[in-house]
Structure 1
């Protein structure tokens, strides 16, 4: 068993490690935004954090709509691999190429529609903030940052569609290089636009939003050009979304809408708790923002493992290897658990060190609250990772509806009432909110993994007894 786990870990890691590093590099963008917001003051940190939460809510749902592109591409490649031997091998390869091209074109069309609609929703949410119980000073800072972030959603989702395509064909290497470069560009643009250097106006938090939108556009262009220079990727990549195939669009949306709803359910759960923290004052919201960003960083390990596990499950089932699909679950959870244990130790032993980038210039009260929340976060992140991996595993089975139904139960029927009762009923305030988050994530993780076991067993072909 240990030998098998080690072998499977290496196989999963070959795809997961570049994805995890890419995810960590991507979250460095929002971390940079959060840190630079915190350097402006506690109120600015709270306002910037709220804007990032809303942007991530809409972005996450848009990403969900195009996430199945990777699974479809991986399954098409595996089917071509199975039929490539023999006289009809050339036809199989051509059919796989045509199918991949249709999937990419449809994925970019979905990303375009989602980006435009999402930008409009962000603007409307910004206008509705005063009626959501938020401090007037925070609203005045959050709204212009949201308006600056909105245009960046479109190239962000284009980038995600092409990213899923490169993952599906198991060639994600350019992602990491591009995302690492975007961190430096984002930090530089943030500094220039926030402080108004080189003769530019001093924009404050609005500059943070404009810098992030610009970086999303540059990242998309860089990934597109990198793919066009790749001899294996270039023939499959087309931007002619006007010719998107209706049947392929319907297939992507059939899986994508439940994925988006699942992602939105999770992100919405965190967004509502951020609004709850905001109702407790700027110090509570600043502490919530800082710890939430730390958990979000660690969560990227699970996102990378979830995408890799999902694509590998699609591939293993297309190849007819059900035992391989079962082992992927165990391997992904073991890898995530090992990383989360190390991160949790750091949270518990060095809380002031990990909080310093966010709250070093903030109030003592915000730092005290955040230190308490880190204790909960050390345990919460195990369940956060497990539930995300569970969603990815089910996506590998093309079972996206179950994930959505389970998140409704875990987050909204269990987690949110628990957070509300603990925060306001027992007067635990921000600590109660985070204990409610932990409860909801734990319930969701257990239900998702149980569903995967049941759904995977149902896909195994039934054995028939031989007759004499």
Structure 2
């Protein structure tokens, strides 16, 4: 790296190995808390769509659910792939390599464009796929109306992930929070105007919801890009300069690291989708109770997920700096923070489950009583696996900071589909534990993956994950 490149970089903080644990806790918390709230706000985007689709009626809500269930797994795969920008920019920051940051971000946009071109034709086959699966033709037709427009959100939404990775690398997470909250507001207003035809606009119903989704992602991308291009801390990177110039090694590196991340996300999403299908075989009450408990667990999951993103950045910076002790402190600090929160959420689910689920189902209605009891039971089990769920997401993100994604992907796929799902089937249907057995299967799969991934991070040196650092023995204490 040339001297002029190094001097262009803002001076990094003192190496974690020279800082105390308290300083690392403060740095991690300052980086993570806006990400946590931003993740919750991101959930609010989807919740707003669901609520307003419900105002249109049961048929619109069912069609919107079908559309979302089809598009989201493929979208999340794309998000996982471009998410590789986060560890790569963090490592470049640690190495003080400004050119690498610019090139990684630029190739991240390239990856988003390519993924859009690959995924969009698949998503547009929703009518064909659901036809094979025997879904109601009327609902599928309405779902197709939504998807035909919503598919346009792929590129801007993945572009947001690329820029969010850059901002997180340089601790600018409050900006991410503000822009995401702004997106929630834009989405709600656009939905209100376009879905229901207020203020003289045409009533577009599900098409209006799709347009609102596209406009919201374009808004967030535009604001985030304007901030990066104009703010003095980021404009020095010139991320759009020579945008059309290829950098094939970094382009391939994004897919090398990101594809396993995307497949890992798909494996986990698929596990919970399979669990919902199994619940549907048991009955309406079980499925409704499952949906309520899963919504609560998903909300709590936003905290370790936000912390996990911070772990990728902190570990990645230390890795780029060739600071083995910094990796240790960054990783385990995040682990402690995550376990502390998940312990609280686990205790809350176990002790206050009936009160929590009553927020979703009216306890005054006699027809809800069975679902309420089941939901509280499932939530208590969810409380028990909160710790392992937090541990596996922390470990996976920490390993991503080391660019280690392929083996964790294999561990996750095996744990979810060769342990979690078979155990859920065995306990739910063979041992006749029904919904409880299915949730115990989910817990078993998450616990299996957590043990493997935490163990991999703990043994990162003897497994050769720090070979780049090992080239300079002076970095070890």
TM-score, normalised relative to structure 1: 0.85
1:386 to 373, 381, 391: 391
Partners of 1:47 and 1:357 lie apart in 2 by 25
- Change in Cα spacing, 1:462 to 1:113, as seen in structure 2 (3 Å) is closer
Look up the SS of the partner of 2:325 in the other structure.
Answer: helix
1:71 to 87, 90, 99: 87
The residue that corresponds to 1:412 in the other structure is: 417
CA contact (8 A) 1:42 1:283 kept: no
Query: How do 1:28-39 and structure 2 match up within 5 A?
Result: 28-38=44-54
| Residues 1:231 and 2:232 are matched in the alignment | yes
The residue that corresponds to 1:91 in the other structure is: none
Partners of 2:60 and 2:428 lie apart in 1 by 24
Partners of 1:432 and 1:201 lie apart in 2 by 48
- Change in Cα spacing, 1:418 to 1:146, as seen in structure 2 (3 Å) is farther
The residue that corresponds to 2:9 in the other structure is: none
Partners of 2:288 and 2:143 lie apart in 1 by 13
| Residues 1:455 and 2:460 are matched in the alignment | yes
Q: After superposing the two structures, state which structure 1 stretch, 344-353 or 210-219, moved more.
A: 344-353
Partners of 1:228 and 1:203 lie apart in 2 by 35
Deviations 1:310-367 (A, max 9, x none): 2211222333332231233322222112222333344344446544665459962554
Please report how far the alpha carbon of residue 422 of structure 1 lies from its aligned counterpart in structure 2 after TM superposition. 3.0
CA contact (8 A) 2:87 2:402 kept: no
CA contact (8 A) 1:299 1:385 kept: yes
Please report how far the alpha carbon of residue 239 of structure 1 lies from its aligned counterpart in structure 2 after TM superposition. 7.3
Query: How do 1:333-344 and structure 2 match up within 5 A?
Result: 333-344=335-346
The residue that corresponds to 1:291 in the other structure is: 293
Please report how far the alpha carbon of residue 412 of structure 1 lies from its aligned counterpart in structure 2 after TM superposition. 0.8
Deviations 1:14-38 (A, max 9, x none): 2112222221221211122234445
The residue that corresponds to 1:87 in the other structure is: none
The residue that corresponds to 2:267 in the other structure is: 265
Relative to total residues, which structure has the larger helix share, 1 or 2?
1
The residue that corresponds to 1:440 in the other structure is: 445
Please report how far the alpha carbon of residue 403 of structure 1 lies from its aligned counterpart in structure 2 after TM superposition. 1.0
Deviations 1:400-442 (A, max 9, x none): 1111110121101101112223333344444433222111111
CA contact (8 A) 1:108 1:239 kept: no
The residue that corresponds to 1:222 in the other structure is: 223
CA RMSD of aligned residues (A): 3.1
- Change in Cα spacing, 1:133 to 1:241, as seen in structure 2 (3 Å) is farther
- Change in Cα spacing, 1:53 to 1:305, as seen in structure 2 (3 Å) is farther
Q: After superposing the two structures, state which structure 1 stretch, 157-166 or 450-459, moved more.
A: 450-459
Long gaps (5+) in structure 1: 81-95
Partners of 1:298 and 1:200 lie apart in 2 by 38
CA contact (8 A) 1:37 1:45 kept: yes
Partners of 1:14 and 1:208 lie apart in 2 by 35
Partners of 2:371 and 2:66 lie apart in 1 by 16
Partners of 1:258 and 1:271 lie apart in 2 by 20
Please report how far the alpha carbon of residue 210 of structure 1 lies from its aligned counterpart in structure 2 after TM superposition. 3.3
The residue that corresponds to 1:158 in the other structure is: 159
The residue that corresponds to 2:15 in the other structure is: none
CA contact (8 A) 2:345 2:386 kept: no
TM-score, normalised relative to structure 2: 0.83
Q: After superposing the two structures, state which structure 1 stretch, 228-237 or 130-139, moved more.
A: 130-139
Query: How do 1:244-263 and structure 2 match up within 5 A?
Result: 244-263=246-265
Partners of 2:49 and 2:263 lie apart in 1 by 26
The residue that corresponds to 1:325 in the other structure is: 327
Report how many aligned residue pairs link the two structures: 448
Please report how far the alpha carbon of residue 293 of structure 1 lies from its aligned counterpart in structure 2 after TM superposition. 2.8
| Residues 1:398 and 2:400 are matched in the alignment | no
The residue that corresponds to 2:122 in the other structure is: 121
Long gaps (5+) in structure 2: 1-18
CA contact (8 A) 1:302 1:388 kept: yes
| Residues 1:61 and 2:77 are matched in the alignment | yes
Partners of 2:332 and 2:154 lie apart in 1 by 35
Partners of 2:144 and 2:425 lie apart in 1 by 26
- Change in Cα spacing, 1:260 to 1:7, as seen in structure 2 (3 Å) is same
CA contact (8 A) 1:194 1:207 kept: yes
Deviations 1:278-324 (A, max 9, x none): 45566554443343333222212112211211221122233333223
